[in-house]
């Protein structure tokens, strides 16, 4: 009995010694440290330079978003150009994978934004900032309609909490996206203990000292580290192996910016093609080149006839979106309302499309990022098409040689100069909104907004149709525009986000991987 106990004790001692030995030089329980394929040096090893490589391997999905796997599709008209605009001629393009909101931004979400602004920028000197974020509730007024209840109650009454926010300009929608980015990233850093959790309780009156992602990454915003950041369990290390309190973008913790979707992204997401596509088998034995047999007319379609079938039968006759059926008919007859909404409907109303996204047809038109041009679809690049680029760079304070912040606490940017761009091969001008317009080389010639045309550099594309539009405008291929500083009772928005990494989603491979063959060595 004593002999057996001694053997057991000896076995335990040997095992412990082996474990301790395996933990040396970056090895954990026999696991070899990750090393560079080009130098052979270990990553995350203080004894070999301390170069840090993130353990975060995938991009997490931000709040409210749905992953949309990209691909090629025919952008533009689906049927006859009823309006005769000739602004949506079919064009085959490719959209990269991205994320988009599953619903339109609702009143309660925008009021959350206003609450934050009123709390953080509460001084009299910040009144323009607070007022500049307010939606225009007067968009509901009409010379020949009694819409005052909508003016007074639509945005603020809890009955309308989850109805889409309207009366928001393109600029305001863009600012909302920037604010949302910072709040999501700030909360993630607090959850992981890299920022003190008490900071969320002390936001009143801090104004430009609020957390901003870019300011944080450039070191212009100094956050108070949380407990986890100083702990030995912190996976982020300095070169000398001590815990690192400052997160970098290379760590994979911070998300890319929320933003408005491009016109191509919006249209692709609206079509919801994933619902029609044959999915490859687990072994990827079947890989279809052309997965889209027919271009659907509306976002809810599952076939070209406009019907969606269920196991219990067809939904023929049921309204699949909130729109205006005909003159004077915005919701049907009492006792049998067709879409059950005289104006807007809750953002989760009706059936989601193939990607699981709600109200991509009807309810409200939605802002996209693009500057409107009638012939954009003929000028676009084949991949990630977009018009509206103004190439900028961080504005560096020459006296202090560091970035500067504006009154909102955001890092200032400046337009790149022609001198900085002249030697580039991919672009020569920073402002390329008018690229290929035909007038960029002629001095003094432009679109002449308000004189010869209603189209200008502030014209932004709106998509999707609204509660007050006929069915034609519900087709994802139709397109209209509105000035970026204007608002409407029929226009709202939703946010998008870039996808980094594999275009097929987390846990998926990029590219096609084949089994490697060993080379046959010949005897000589």
Same domain for 41 and 69, yes or no, is no
Residues 80, 29, single domain; the answer is: no
Report, as an integer, the average pLDDT of 120-142.
96
Question: For residues 427-464, b (16+ Cβ closer than 10 Å) or e, as one string?
Answer: eebbbbbbeebeeeeeeeeebeeeeeeebbbbbbbbbb
Q: Based on the domain organization, do 23 and 107 belong to the same domain?
A: no
Shared-domain flag, residues 312 and 363: yes
**Which residues, in sequence order, are CB contacts of 184 under 8 Å at separation 6+?**
62, 63, 255, 258
| Higher per-residue pLDDT: 381 or 317 | 381
pLDDT at 41: 94
129 and 76 part of one domain: yes
Q: Lowest mean pLDDT: which of 251-265, 277-291, 491-505?
A: 277-291
Predicted local distance difference test score (pLDDT) of residue 94: 96
Do both 88 and 34 map to the same domain? no
The per-residue pLDDT for 484 is 97
pLDDT at 309: 55
Q: Decide if 177 is inside a domain.
A: yes
Lowest mean pLDDT among 4-18, 161-175, 184-198: 4-18
Instruction: Say yes or no: 147 and 23 in one domain.
Output: no
* Percent of residues, the chain, with pLDDT higher than 90: 55
Burial of residue 255, with CB atoms counted within 10 A of its CB: 0-12 exposed, 13-18 middle, 19 or more buried: buried
- 288: confidence class by pLDDT, cuts 50, 70, 90: very low
In a domain, 248, yes or no: no
Give phi and psi for 28, each to the nearest 5: -120, 115
Mean pLDDT over each residue of the chain, to the nearest integer: 85
Q: Does residue 440 fall inside a structural domain?
A: no
Higher pLDDT, 114 or 240: 114
Predicted pLDDT of residue 447: 64
pLDDT digits (tens, 9 = 90+) for 330-365: 887 887 777 888 999 999 998 888 899 999 999 999
The answer for 309, left when phi > 0, alpha when psi is -120 to 50, beta otherwise, is: beta
Angle between helices 107-120 and 170-191 (to 10 degrees): 70
- For the chain, what percentages of helix, strand and coil (3-state, to nearest 5) are there? 25, 15, 60
**Average of pLDDT values for 95-106?**
97
CATH number at residue 490: 3.90.1580.10
Q: Say whether pTM exceeds 0.85.
A: yes
Query: What are 114's two structure tokens?
Result: 């206003």
Q: Are 317 and 267 found together in one domain?
A: yes
Domain assignment present for 382: yes
Tell me, yes or no, whether 181 and 303 share the same domain. Answer: yes
Residue 35 lies in a domain: yes
Residue 427 lies in a domain: no
Q: Are residues 303 and 270 in the same domain?
A: yes
Over residues 365-373, the mean pLDDT reads 97
Residue 439 has pLDDT above 70, yes or no: no
End-to-end Cα separation, the chain, in angstroms: 64
Is residue 168 in a domain? yes
Residues 360 and 270 in one domain: yes
pLDDT for the residue numbered 338: 79
Give residue-wise pLDDT tens across range 395-410.
Answer: 998 888 899 999 999 9
The pLDDT score that the predictor gives to residue 289 is 43
pLDDT band at 438 (very low <50, low <70, confident <90, very high): low
Domain count, the chain: 2
Q: What is the pLDDT of residues 205-262, one digit of tens each?
A: 999 999 999 999 999 998 889 888 888 888 888 999 889 999 999 999 999 999 999 9
Q: Which of the pair, 296 or 157, is modelled with greater confidence?
A: 157
Within a domain: 429: no
Indicate if the pLDDT at residue 477 is higher than 50.
yes
Enclosing domain of residue 127: 65-192+253-280+288-388+463-498
Q: Are residues 35 and 86 in the same domain?
A: no
Q: Within 10 Å of residue 73's Cβ, how many Cβ atoms? A: 20
Pick the range with the lowest mean pLDDT from 22-26, 57-61, 237-241, 520-524: 22-26
């Amino acid at each position: 009995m004593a002999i057996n106990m001694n053997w057991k004790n000896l076995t335990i001692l040997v095992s412990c010694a082996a474990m301790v030995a395996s933990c040396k030089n970056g090895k954990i329980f026999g696991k070899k440290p990750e090393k560079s394929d080009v130098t052979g040096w270990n990553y995350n090893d203080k004894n070999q330079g301390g170069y840090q490589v993130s353990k975060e391997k995938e991009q997490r999905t931000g709040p409210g978003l749905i992953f949309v796997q990209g691909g090629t599709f025919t952008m533009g008209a689906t049927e006859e150009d009823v309006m005769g605009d000739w602004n949506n001629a079919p064009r085959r393009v490719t959209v990269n994978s991205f994320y988009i909101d599953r619903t339109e931004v609702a009143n309660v979400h925008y009021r959350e934004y206003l609450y934050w602004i009123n709390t953080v920028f509460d001084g009299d000197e910040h009144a323009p900032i607070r007022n500049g974020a307010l939606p225009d509730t007067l968009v509901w007024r009409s010379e020949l309609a009694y819409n005052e209840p909508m003016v007074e109650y639509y945005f603020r009454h809890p009955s309308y909490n989850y109805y889409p926010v309207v009366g928001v300009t393109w600029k305001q929608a863009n600012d909302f996206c920037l604010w949302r980015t910072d709040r999501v990233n700030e909360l993630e850093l607090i959850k992981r203990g890299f920022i003190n959790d008490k900071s969320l309780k002390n936001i009143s009156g801090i104004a430009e000292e609020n957390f901003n992602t870019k300011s944080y990454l450039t070191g212009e915003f100094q956050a108070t580290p949380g407990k986890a950041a100083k702990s030995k369990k912190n996976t982020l290390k300095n070169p000398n192996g001590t815990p690192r309190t400052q997160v970098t973008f290379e760590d994979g913790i911070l998300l890319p910016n929320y933003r408005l979707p491009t016109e191509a992204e919006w249209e692709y997401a609206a079509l919801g093609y994933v619902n029609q596509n044959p999915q490859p088998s687990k072994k990827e034995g079947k890989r279809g080149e052309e997965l889209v047999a027919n271009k659907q007319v509306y976002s809810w379609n599952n076939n070209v006839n406009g019907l969606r079938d269920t196991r219990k039968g067809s939904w023929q006759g049921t309204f699949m979106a909130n729109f205006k059926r005909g003159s004077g008919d915005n919701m049907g007859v009492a006792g049998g309302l067709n879409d059950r909404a005289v104006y807007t409907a809750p953002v989760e109303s009706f059936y989601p499309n193939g990607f699981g996204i709600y109200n991509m047809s009807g309810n409200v038109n939605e802002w996209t990022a693009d500057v409107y041009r009638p012939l954009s679809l003929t000028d676009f690049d084949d991949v990630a098409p977009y018009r509206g680029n103004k190439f900028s760079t961080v504005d560096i304070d020459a006296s202090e040689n560091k970035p500067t912040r504006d009154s909102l606490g955001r890092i200032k940017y400046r337009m790149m100069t022609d001198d900085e761009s002249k030697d580039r091969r991919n672009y020569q001008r920073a402002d390329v909104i008018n690229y290929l317009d035909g007038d960029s080389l002629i001095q003094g010639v432009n679109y002449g907004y308000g004189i010869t045309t209603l189209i200008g550099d502030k014209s932004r594309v709106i998509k999707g149709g609204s509660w007050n539009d006929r069915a034609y405008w519900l087709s994802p291929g139709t397109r209209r525009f509105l000035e970026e500083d204007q608002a409407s009772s029929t226009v709202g928005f939703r946010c998008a986000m870039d996808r980094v990494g594999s275009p097929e989603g987390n846990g998926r491979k990029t590219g096609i991987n084949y089994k490697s063959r060993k080379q046959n060595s010949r005897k000589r």
